[in-house]
Structure 1
Amino acid sequence: MDKKLLDILVCPVTKGPLTYDKKNNELISKSAKLAYRIDDGIPILLESEARKITGKK
């Protein structure tokens, strides 16, 4: 994930920062507890498409 792009993108729900999860190829919003997938290098920043993050791993 391009660092410049990551600095610009925000969570569409909370408008907070996103972090890149390289292992799962997702952008994580810790405040919203959502993970947004990245398809072919394009972040899918739709709440309806996001995966809910639980406290357990």
Structure 2
Amino acid sequence: MLRLEEWHQPDLFETKPSQSEVYRQLAEVLATADLSKYHPSEEPNTHWTNWPDSGGL
């Protein structure tokens, strides 16, 4: 239905998925099958260089 190459991934230690724009919009797309419901305003941050501490827990 929808394929994302990049998106704004919140820090889930600080932000609940329900408080995240991307997750709320994706839920709306899944619930309605209306792709126009996904219109993010936040810049993508999923490139690996944005998460230097990932995997270091």
Q: Same fold (TM over 0.5)?
A: no
**Which is richer in helix?**
2
TM bucket normalised to smaller: under 0.3
Q: Which has the higher contact order (CA 8 A, sep 6+)?
A: 2
**Structure with the higher strand share, 1 or 2:** 1
**TM-score, with normalisation over the residues of structure 2?**
0.26
- TM-score normalised to structure 1 length: 0.26
Greater Rg by CA = 2
